[in-house]
Amino acid sequence: MAYEFVKTRREGSVLVVTMNRPDVYNAMHAPMHHEMSQVWDEFAADPDLWVAVLTGEGDKAFSAGNDLKYTARGGKGTAPPTGFAGLSSRFDLEKPIIAAVNGFAMGGGFETALSCDVIIAADTATFALPEVKVGLFAAAGGIQRLSRQIGRKHAVDMMLTGRHVGAEEGFRLGFVNAVVPRDRLMQVAMDKAQEICAVSPSSVKATKRILNGMDDLEQLKATLLYSRLVISELRETEDFTEGVNAFVEKRKPQWKNR
């Protein structure tokens, strides 16, 4: 079906999903979260689709994450139960998703990539969890997934500073599977998708089922629910209001610590 904020196309057993708000660097708001959740619902239910490739429209951004300007303007709505991009709190998907990161992946954009099974990054890609700079924290799984994928010390450094990490450093840290030239990104991602399609889809689903079970044993769902509780409390602080306003007004925030 047609979507307003997402583009999809089928290539054999592969679903290509493109986040499509390039005017705001593919930042996501509530309507987009719900569209993407529907995309993943349909992907999960279609027996002829085995692998998905997720990327962003345009040359600059995979996704800038949460659309703070939409929030500051009083934009309505919340993410669906399946979480950020309809993916961060989806715990039962048994089909792999490859993130083809074509530019910067900031905040929720990075968390969306971390929710995928494989990350192929263009050599121009940049990653960060900069939420602490605007009075938030990485509540859409960034804390949990990054610390599990690269280890706590390196993850804490990124989370507490909000610093930017290039694709090559991301590869060395371990959250990026491969770094490729920008003009070859989609071809390499599609080649990886076809490589997965060449093996038993039943075996892939069984493998994903075990991985999902490991997430359950590690209480991923419970810790993400706790993140929602903490972020709701944080939204009541003066620092949250100041952080969002400073971001929209393009100025340095004046923190009050209350």
**Catalytic residue numbers?**
111, 131
SS3 117: coil
SS3 137: coil
Residues 6+ apart with CB under 8 A from 75: 29, 30, 67
- With the CA atoms of 126, 129, 133 and 134 taken in that order, what torsion angle do they form, in degrees rounded to the nearest 10? 110
Phi, psi angles (nearest 5°) of residue 70: -60, -45
SS3 138: coil
Pairing of strands 14-19, 6-11: antiparallel
Contact predicate 223/89, CB 8 Å: no
**How far apart are the C-alpha atoms of 225 and 187, rounded to whole Å?**
37
86, two tokens:
């309809």
Residues 6+ apart with CB under 8 A from 249: none
Contact predicate 136/234, CB 8 Å: yes
Residues 6+ apart with CB under 8 A from 147: 155, 156
